Amino acid sequence: MLSYEESLKILRETNALIDGHFILSSGLHSSQYVQCAQLLSEPEKAKKICESLAVKLKNQFKKFNLILTPAIGGIIIGYEIGRLLKKKTIFAERVDNKFDLRRNFLIKKGDKVLIIEDVITTGKSSKECMDLVNKYGGETVGYGCIIDRSNKQSVLKEKIVSQITLNIPTFKKDNIPSSLSKIKAIKPGSRNI
């Protein structure tokens, strides 16, 4: 398994973790930004992270038969974890602004489901996936992600297993530290187009 330092190095090398002044989709400000798509664009480096995470997941969750990921951020990581652990993997998509199953994907009654994401912050997407699992009569066994940056503040009650945990402070617009206010703020991310 990769150490915290080795994982952090890979995230920085791939620009999946960058420093600056960022306005997040929540409107909060931060001195660091996470974009796992950058990591996943470099398959050999992503492979190392996924292999390490797969070992952790296998050790933590002994009995599950299905992996569910939220589209779009979780699809690649979910696929790779599913391949490594030899588990069927499906993804949820937004239909009328709510996650649902399409493409003839099924969660059967009694399925034991592991939910995989790239990053867990608030846990909102994972919680929506859990609600979907419940709707179809499955059981969520837990959550896995490359980066857990929830600071134990997510809405999730089940165990989160991550490759790396990052404590990235966020600030309201009227309470930005002076060191951060000196840097021009940018709005990165997929929701800020």
Q: For 77-118, how does the pLDDT look when each residue is reduced to its tens digit (9 = 90+)? A: 999 999 999 999 999 999 998 999 999 999 999 999 999 999
For the entire predicted model, the pTM comes to 0.88
Q: For 47-77, how does the pLDDT look when each residue is reduced to its tens digit (9 = 90+)? A: 999 999 999 999 999 999 999 999 888 999 9
52's tokens: 């390490």
By three-state DSSP, how is residue 43 classified?
helix
CB 189 within 8 A of CB 38: no
Which residues are paired to 70 by β-bridges? 92
- Domain locations along the chain: 4-181
As a CATH number, domain 4-181 is 3.40.50.2020
CB 89 within 8 A of CB 114: no
* Percent of residues in the chain assigned helix, strand, coil, to nearest 5: 35, 30, 40
